[in-house]
Structure 1
Amino acid sequence: MEIDTVFKLAAAVAAVVGAAKVIIELSIGGRGRLREEYRFAKEFMDALEENPRIHPFLKEKGYQAIAGDRSLAASEIEYLLSLQKPDRAIRDYVLGRHYLEHLQSAGNLQLGFRGKYKNSWSRNWRKGSYFLVYLVLAILAISPALTPTLFGTEPGQVVVALSFCLVGFGPFAWMALMAAARIHRAELIVKNQSKHTQRILMKSARGSG
């Protein structure tokens, strides 16, 4: 293999690894209309404080609107909002929910891994496998740009080959990356959930007194 090709492949791997973080953040964190979100969240929280006995239906719908996921229960979202950086906690939980379980009776730490994912080895080999698949597929997706001579001598041939590779490998590379990200995000929220805000701790202390 020519030294130039080696450098191109190394650069491609570095670019693909670097792009992974950007892709994940854009996929799960790129929410727009922040002013509207803030306005709705404030109005809903004010309504809860003024009327603690608000109808369960309205309460659940309000929480689901904040989370942006109607499949979540009000109790799940309420717990996530009690954590530090609740916005990030909600996004992590939504992404990694397949691997998690919410146990309301577990006290302060209510999130844990589902049965077969409790073991770190079970999660690590899945993360590693998914990320390796992402690397291979992502490099294949841009391979015509790395080694254009393999796909023809005319620029048009390379463009056509690149288009086919991006369409053929790109979506699967994205799915593999997101699969690894789901496990990683689940691990983050389980690890960080003990960082409750002072307000919640004080509320709990008053409730037990």
Structure 2
Amino acid sequence: MDIDQWLKLAHLALTAFFGATTAWLGIRQYLDGNKTARREEYKFAKLFFDELKQHPPMHAYARKKGFQAIGRNQDLPPNVIEHLMDLRDPVGALQDYESSRAYLKHTAGRGKRQLDFASTIFSTDRRREFISTLYILGAIFSYIVAFTPWFLKTIEKISTPVAISASAVFSPIGIFFAVILLREFLQLRRAMRLVKMQNQEADSW
């Protein structure tokens, strides 16, 4: 190779090296930031729960703000967070509730069974399993529809212009519904897991 080719190769190698280094530093900074945030969350949670234990008649305002600070979303009801903190896996319970709260309702004064499904459509296990199955099957079907034009083009059932025109319509619609239905499936399954865990603990209480 001549000198120009060596210079081009060196330039590409340096670009790849600096790109990889930048990506590694970015990932490391992100992970360190998460670690720092978790430490701060731990410190606050420990301080707050120690204060709550030592002073049970805490002022209502401080109590509400403390439980709001425990949750990531500031609009989460403090009494719901307080209920979730009493469960066996409070971290997992809080994450499940934050994801699936649209499916749930909270009723105070029901002991350990304060969370339930908001709609009667989900009143039984069989209905919930059926609807969650419909969600995932709908997501799979929508995903298949999104890429059907190119599949038909691959097996030479339609021409390239027809595939392009069809994919311009079906791909965005199919991907949109696939994402929506998959999200609903995951939210419903997390709501089912949270309510099941809560009720199991209530039965063993």
Highest Rg: 1 or 2? 2
TM-score by length of 1: 0.62
- Contact 2:132/2:185 (<8 A) preserved: yes
1:145-173 per-residue CA deviation (whole Å, 9 max, x = no partner) reads 5343345459xx86886676543321221
- Contact 2:135/2:184 (<8 A) preserved: yes
Q: What value does the CA root-mean-square deviation take over the aligned residues?
A: 3.1
Runs (5+) with no aligned partner, structure 2:
1-32
- Contact 1:37/1:66 (<8 A) preserved: no
Which one of 74, 82, 89 corresponds to residue 86 of structure 2?
82
1:73-111 per-residue CA deviation (whole Å, 9 max, x = no partner) reads 111111112222222211211222223222331112322
- Determine the structure 1 residue equivalent to 2:135: 130
Structure 1 residue identity aligned to 2:83: Y
Number of residue pairs matched by the alignment:
164
- The structure-2 alpha-carbon separation of the partners of 1:165 and 1:41, relative to structure 1 and needing over 3 Å to count, comes to farther
- Determine the structure 1 residue equivalent to 2:3: none
- Determine the structure 1 residue equivalent to 2:99: 95
SS where residue 71 of structure 1 aligns?
Answer: coil
1:72 equivalent to 2:76? Answer yes
- Contact 1:83/1:195 (<8 A) preserved: no
Offset of 1:46 from its aligned partner?
0.4
SS where residue 83 of structure 1 aligns?
Answer: coil
Query: Aligned partners of 2:112, 2:66: CA distance in 1, in Å?
Result: 23
- The structure-2 alpha-carbon separation of the partners of 1:87 and 1:161, relative to structure 1 and needing over 3 Å to count, comes to farther
Query: Aligned partners of 2:124, 2:70: CA distance in 1, in Å?
Result: 32
Give runs of ≥4 in structure 1 deviating > 6 Å: 157-161
- The structure-2 alpha-carbon separation of the partners of 1:193 and 1:166, relative to structure 1 and needing over 3 Å to count, comes to same
- Determine the structure 1 residue equivalent to 2:22: none
- Contact 1:84/1:195 (<8 A) preserved: no
SS where residue 101 of structure 1 aligns?
Answer: strand
- Contact 1:138/1:169 (<8 A) preserved: yes
1:17-76 per-residue CA deviation (whole Å, 9 max, x = no partner) reads xxxxxxxxxxxxxxx824303313422430442364655444434433432222211111
Query: Aligned partners of 2:164, 2:66: CA distance in 1, in Å?
Result: 48
1:49 equivalent to 2:54? Answer no
- The structure-2 alpha-carbon separation of the partners of 1:174 and 1:61, relative to structure 1 and needing over 3 Å to count, comes to farther
